[in-house]
Amino acid sequence: MNLSQARRCVLYARLSVTKEESVSIARQLESCRRYANARGWEIVGEFVDDGVSATANRPEARNGWTSLLAADDFDAVVIWKVDRLARRVLDFLHADETLQKRGAGLVAVEDPIDMTSPQGRAFAVMLAVFGEMEAEAIRARVRAARAQLLKDGRWPGGGIPYGYRSIANPAGPGRMLVKDPERSPWLVEAVKMALQGATVNAIATWLTDHSAPLPRRQTVRQPAKSATWNRQTVDGLLRNPVLAGMTPHNPGRPKSAKRADPFAVVRDEHGRPVVNESLAVITIEEFTALQLMLDSRTSPQARKRCDRQTTSPFLSRVARCDECDVYMCRGTNQKRPVLYCPACRQTMGRTALDPYLVQRLLVERGSESLGAATVEDRWAFAGADELARRAVLVTQLESLRIRRGVVGRSFDDERVLVRWRPANVGRQADLPDVVIAASP
């Protein structure tokens, strides 16, 4: 693609979690617009990945870049700098190759590159190399700074465990962790109940019934929490190594990430866990025993069967966790129906998921023949019978997978991966015959 012949372009901007005014999304897009207008190009689309790390996420794994590639009729992609697209050389080259295959060129406003010449491509690769080196240097500095904080006994940041709070370090700069006098007694009692065999749900119920203070909100932007405790919160509380005075390697791990190893803690030169006795509420031996007890329970739904809230069997053994490749289970979270993965504990609310799947089934497969009728006819015949409705859905599904999301259990259609069976290959699944009355 010769960029001098380009007429239509799209803009792309990316920003990591760290907000810097000098490279904000708005500033990037404004610079790209000025560049496109100066060259007389028509802007046919703007695509953004906000809060997305280029080191941890390849371009093809980002929603904004994927949407850009799905757009039609553009000759060039305008970015602010090369590192806005990729921080790894291979990722940059792969993204550029994808654009070349569709006849589009890549333009960087602050890095004057011409991807149509060998010299320009070589220069672009050099910029990508420097970007990768800069990213690695940043990671090294962060690791070194965190290691020094831990060595000095200071808190490296992240979510504050329940029962604790951070205060200004009285012996120098930074902050340190101490027990929270308001919440620590509740933590001690919850751990005691768990060691005596109480289930996670029983502890959550006890904390709610006795109006135990909920975890503190970490930021003013965070929405208000529910007035009740839930199983996930209590389970995370009981698995935090701070209970035994140990420091986890990554206390700031995102809540949406896969559950961390509770024994991945800071250790001394002899491999022994470094323990801060002032923070411990139980011994390391008791913490180990507690983890074994929690892991031995195959199902987190530990209430007595008569006390459990029934949920619809519509998606029973239908959806799989995209990360763990296991069937997601039915359950409730704060009395709302959810699907959860028994392995990694990711969840998705069903209040919006079920209607979304029904709509897609009827719109995309409603006219498909199913026995002597159509999918839409079979669905109408099923009525409110959830098992019959499930049977209709299963005949059309090749697979249904739920992938992890940043926003926890909230519904996001991009987390729902639906693959239908080829047309007219649906299974009967013991569906009853449907008789369609002729119009009078």
231 CB-near residues (< 8 Å, 6+ apart)? 200, 201, 204, 300, 333
Residues 181 and 84 in one domain: no
Give the residue with greater pLDDT, 336 vs 363: 363
Tokens describing residue 223: 């929405």
Which pLDDT value is given to residue 365?
93
- For 258-280, the pLDDT digits (tens) are 456 777 787 877 888 888 888 99
Residue 389 lies in a domain: yes
Give the residue with greater pLDDT, 16 vs 379: 379
Q: What is the DSSP letter of 436?
A: P
pTM (global) more than 0.75: no
Which pLDDT value is given to residue 347?
87
Give the residue with greater pLDDT, 23 vs 59: 59
Question: Among 340, 354, 356, which Cα is nearest to 408's?
Answer: 340
d(CA 96, CA 1): 12
**Mean pLDDT within 150-173:** 78
Buried b (16+ CB within 10 A) or exposed e, 31-53: bbbebbeeeebebebbbbbeebe
Which pLDDT value is given to residue 364?
92
395 CB-near residues (< 8 Å, 6+ apart)? 370, 375, 421, 426, 427, 428, 429, 431
Residues 289 and 380 in one domain: no
Per-residue pLDDT for 24 more than 90?
no
Residue 432 lies in a domain: no
Which pLDDT value is given to residue 142?
67
Q: With DSSP H G I counted as helix, E B as strand and the rest as coil, what are the percentages for the chain, rounded to 5? A: 40, 15, 45
Give the residue with greater pLDDT, 10 vs 125: 10
Helices 375-382 and 350-365, axial angle in degrees (round to 10): 140
What is the side-by-side strand order in the sheet with 416-420?
319-321, 397-402, 416-420
Residues 127 and 14 in one domain: yes
Tokens describing residue 233: 């919160």
Q: Partners of 14 in the beta sheet? A: 49
Which pLDDT value is given to residue 311?
85
d(CA 262, CA 332): 25
Which pLDDT value is given to residue 426?
52
Q: How many domains is the chain partitioned into structurally?
A: 3
- For 104-161, the pLDDT digits (tens) are 888 888 877 766 556 666 766 676 676 667 767 776 776 676 667 666 667 776 678 8
**Mean pLDDT within 397-423:** 80
Residues 289 and 318 in one domain: no
Give the residue with greater pLDDT, 46 vs 409: 46
Residue 171 near residue 270, CB atoms below 8 Å:
no
Q: Which domain holds residue 34?
A: 3-138
- For 283-324, the pLDDT digits (tens) are 999 999 999 888 886 554 445 555 556 789 999 999 999 888
Task: Calculate the average pLDDT of the chain.
Answer: 80
Tell how far CA 233 is from the center of its chain.
Answer: 17
Residue 31 lies in a domain: yes
Confidence of residue 334 (pLDDT cuts 50, 70, 90): confident
**Which CA distances in Å does 118 have to 108, 123, 125?**
16, 9, 11
Residue 329 lies in a domain: yes
Tell how far CA 305 is from the center of its chain.
Answer: 31
Residue 431 lies in a domain: no
Which pLDDT value is given to residue 402?
92
Residue 302 lies in a domain: no
58 CB-near residues (< 8 Å, 6+ apart)? 86, 88, 91, 94
Which pLDDT value is given to residue 118?
63
Residues 168 and 237 in one domain: yes
CA dihedral 335, 215, 262, 334 (to 10 degrees): 0
- For 396-407, the pLDDT digits (tens) are 999 999 988 754
Tokens describing residue 100: 């070349």
CATH number assigned to the domain comprising residue 57: 3.40.50.1390
Confidence of residue 434 (pLDDT cuts 50, 70, 90): very low
**Which CA distances in Å does 429 have to 368, 390, 425?**
15, 10, 12
- For 49-105, the pLDDT digits (tens) are 988 877 777 888 888 999 999 888 898 899 998 888 887 777 888 888 888 888 888
Per-residue pLDDT for 47 more than 90?
yes
Which pLDDT value is given to residue 130?
66
Which pLDDT value is given to residue 336?
84
Per-residue pLDDT for 226 more than 90?
no
CATH number assigned to the domain comprising residue 242: 3.90.1750.20
In this predicted structure, which of 68-77, 243-252, 413-422 has the lowest mean pLDDT? 243-252
Q: Partners of 330 in the beta sheet? A: 339
* Three-class SS of 193-261: HHHCCCCHHHHHHHHHHCCCCCCCCCCCCCCCCCCCCCHHHHHHHHCCHHHHCCCECCCCCCCCCCCCC
CA angle 96, 100, 105 (to 5 degrees): 75
Residues 275 and 317 in one domain: no
Residues 108 and 168 in one domain: no
Residue type, 130: F
Residue 82 near residue 124, CB atoms below 8 Å:
yes
Tokens describing residue 302: 């530990």
